[in-house]
């Protein structure tokens, strides 16, 4: 089944890529391959063997990315067959800004705080190149936000209100944003230049060796025979793949080509099929152990160890996918949908046998992280295991062309994220220089009038609006610097405040009117974009409620709690999710009326809100409706039996 679609996956991925990048002649393609492969090999050497001092390593990392971006991405929708003369300057400058730091490393340290003219020129070049690279890869949204923050350094004295400041000199701003670890080469580029790049490379090797296909085959083998099987397979496979890739858009393009046609085949409507894939792919970013790039940045910005962070994130992520799974199942039961035939489902035993040596890589990541390895070493060793494991079977074996292809894919997949994180570094640098983060936190407190629920709603809205135009990692960096402190000051636990922001950044991909993942899924499903996005929003609703719950009750995160509290919050949350899914789909052990759907929705809110009284009321309502639905369905079955 999956084999027949493999070429389609490549085609979808290539079409998405071709919409942005130049299409070169063979000799230019070879040059790009050499640069991309060199980038990946340098990163592997720096990660696993030996690395230069931090600022030098980050400078080389960013220069490689900028070089590839200005070669691959045109300035606009012009000629994509060659590199125009006006792109030669940024290509050369991309190399120059990195070499300048590497060659003059000691001199820059000695004259810290007193940059000379050349320092300022290179700093200005780095800022302009970063903004343009971000625009070419990520669009105007993040670029304009970053540009506003850069200008804010100079124009703060002209802005009225609480965010006014006295302004800073050109030299001070340029030095801070280029020659310190607070700006472009700050925490975001630190993370991309270490383990995030290796995880992206890990995903590329997994793709080339057939690991992505193995995930999908396993999901179909486990769930395909049950009612609505393809939709359940989409939930599993997209969750697995999204956790590693960290990109809901890329995940839809990769797994949706398999899952969406089969969902339609068993009877799901196109809009619902696209919504399932979009909701599952977006949820992959919140699912441990990998959680995409933003999770590693979160660990750095909060000081929470990665092992602890994935423990905090585990239960809400499981509840989210449980909610999507239930809605898929209830929809199948309501519409009388069946699973796939035996011939259409991969054999579980054969699938495991064929893919175990490739899938051992993702398993190794979990083992290494839980075993106390740093994310840097865990990603590096897991990648080595994938490479070695591929040689145990002929169909997964890494030949030299495949090895080069994986290195090239990894570098190309990383450059957009690197540009976004460098631009986010400009924002973070401005926040640390001007102190606007503290002022923003004070504004949130003032606007919310001390009400935590209003502060959470304001933060949610800001996260979703920014998330519509920004990649999740960049969005998280901005709001973690500015909004998270306000929530923490109002009593929200540290991991809860940061996960709150992270969740809504991820869910922006399925939030109309700019639901990019849903729109791509609609294209694959041949469905209407807006109805598909609303289906994706409905299926993702648990992710919009859960952050409010763990912000109010961090026991949901296993944070500073007791075993009894964890058990209670788990049980009540599961029952709340069941009630939520039943109310949204209108099915619970049988069809439920509109009044019962409203009652179930209210009971779901009661169950998800911490408190003994609300839990008792919620449980009582759920049990009564469940019993009524059971009697109704039993009566219907008895009536059918008598008629027969």
Domain assignment of residue 263, yes or no: no
- CB-CB neighbours of 33 under 10 Å: 16
**pLDDT averaged over every residue in the chain:** 82
Domain assignment of residue 231, yes or no: no
Domain assignment of residue 85, yes or no: yes
Counted domains in the chain: 2
Domain assignment of residue 93, yes or no: yes
pLDDT at 254 over 70: no
Q: How far apart are CA 380 and CA 631, in angstroms?
A: 56
Exposed/middle/buried for residue 564 (C-beta within 10 Å: 0-12, 13-18, 19+): exposed
Q: How far apart are CA 557 and CA 310, in angstroms?
A: 10
Q: pTM for the whole thing? A: 0.77
In tens, the pLDDT along 381-416 reads 888 888 888 888 887 888 899 999 999 999 998 898
Domain assignment of residue 114, yes or no: yes
Nearest to 455 by CA among 479, 474, 472: 479
pLDDT at 644 over 60: no
The helix (H) or strand (E) run that includes residue 536 is helix 529-539
Domain assignment of residue 280, yes or no: no
Domain assignment of residue 414, yes or no: no
Of 192, 208, 226, the one marking the end of a domain is: 192
Of 166, 192, 218, the one marking the end of a domain is: 192
Segment 608-635 shows an average pLDDT of: 79
Of 192, 214, 247, the one marking the end of a domain is: 192
Residue 570: give the domain boundaries. Answer: 562-644
In tens, the pLDDT along 185-229 reads 988 888 888 877 888 888 788 888 877 677 777 878 888 778 878
Please report, to the nearest 10 degrees, the dihedral formed by the alpha carbons of residues 50, 473, 161, 151 taken in order: 60
pLDDT at 335 over 80: yes
Domain assignment of residue 549, yes or no: no
In tens, the pLDDT along 292-328 reads 666 777 888 888 887 788 889 888 989 999 999 999 8
């Amino acid at each position: 089944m999956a084999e027949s679609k493999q070429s389609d996956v490549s085609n979808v991925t290539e079409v998405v890529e071709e919409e942005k990048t130049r299409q070169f002649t063979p000799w230019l393609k070879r040059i790009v391959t050499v640069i991309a492969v060199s980038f990946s090999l340098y990163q592997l050497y720096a990660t696993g063997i030996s690395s230069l001092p931090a600022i030098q390593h980050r400078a080389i990392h960013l220069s490689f990315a900028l070089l590839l971006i200005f070669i691959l991405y045109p300035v606009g929708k012009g000629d994509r067959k060659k590199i125009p003369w006006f792109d030669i300057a940024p290509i050369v400058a991309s190399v120059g800004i990195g070499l300048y730091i590497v060659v003059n490393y000691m001199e820059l340290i000695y004259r810290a705080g007193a940059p000379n003219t050349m320092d300022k020129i290179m700093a200005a070049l780095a800022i302009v190149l970063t903004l343009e690279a971000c625009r070419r890869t990520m669009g105007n949204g993040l670029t304009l936000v970053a540009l506003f923050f850069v200008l804010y350094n100079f124009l703060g004295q002209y802005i009225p209100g609480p965010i006014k400041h006295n302004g800073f000199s050109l030299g001070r701003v340029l030095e801070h944003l280029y020659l310190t670890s607070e700006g472009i080469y700050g925490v975001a580029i630190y993370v991309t230049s270490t383990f995030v790049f290796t995880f992206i490379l890990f995903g590329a090797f997994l793709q080339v060796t057939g690991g992505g296909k193995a995930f999908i085959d396993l999901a179909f083998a486990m769930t395909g025979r049950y009612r609505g099987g393809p939709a359940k397979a989409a939930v599993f496979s997209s969750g697995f793949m999204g956790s590693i890739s960290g990109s809901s858009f890329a995940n839809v393009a990769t797994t949706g080509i398999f899952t969406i046609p089969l969902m339609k085949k068993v009877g799901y409507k196109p809009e619902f099929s696209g919504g399932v894939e979009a909701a599952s792919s977006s949820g992959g970013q919140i699912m441990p152990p990998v959680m995409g790039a933003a999770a590693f940045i979160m660990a750095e910005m909060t000081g929470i160890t990665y092992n602890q962070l994935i423990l905090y994130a585990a239960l809400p992520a499981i509840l989210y996918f449980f909610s999507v799974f239930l809605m898929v199942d209830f929809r199948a039961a309501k519409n009388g949908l069946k699973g796939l035939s035996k011939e259409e489902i991969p054999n579980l035993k054969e699938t495991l046998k064929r893919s175990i040596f490739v899938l051992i890589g993702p398993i190794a990541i979990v083992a290494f992280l839980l075993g106390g390895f740093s994310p840097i070493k865990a990603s590096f060793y897991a990648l080595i295991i994938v490479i070695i494991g591929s040689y145990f079977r002929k169909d997964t074996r890494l030949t030299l062309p495949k090895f080069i292809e994986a290195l090239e894919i990894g570098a190309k997949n990383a450059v957009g994220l690197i540009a976004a994180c460098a631009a986010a570094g400009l924002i973070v640098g401005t926040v640390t220089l001007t102190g606007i983060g503290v002022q923003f936190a004070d504004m949130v407190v003032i606007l919310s009038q001390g009400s935590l629920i209003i502060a959470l709603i304001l933060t949610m809205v800001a996260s979703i609006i920014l998330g519509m135009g920004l990649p999740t990692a960049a969005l998280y960096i901005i709001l973690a610097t500015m909004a998270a402190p306000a929530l923490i000051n109002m009593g929200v636990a540290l991991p809860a405040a940061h996960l709150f922001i992270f969740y809504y950044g991820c869910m922006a991909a399925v939030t109309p009117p700019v639901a990019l993942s849903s729109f791509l899924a609609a294209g694959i499903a041949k469905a209407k974009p807006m109805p598909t996005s609303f289906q994706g929003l409905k299926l993702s609703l648990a992710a919009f409620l859960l952050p409010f719950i763990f912000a109010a009750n961090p026991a949901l995160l296993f944070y500073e709690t007791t075993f009894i509290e964890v058990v209670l919050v788990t049980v009540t949350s599961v029952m709340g999710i069941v009630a939520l899914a039943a109310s949204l789909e209108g099915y619970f052990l049988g069809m439920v009326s509109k009044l019962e759907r409203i009652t179930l929705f209210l009971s779901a809110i009661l169950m998800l809100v911490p408190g003994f009284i609300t839990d008792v009321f919620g449980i009582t309502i759920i049990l009564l409706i469940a019993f009524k639905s059971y009697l109704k369905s039993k009566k219907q079955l008895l009536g059918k039996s008598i008629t027969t």
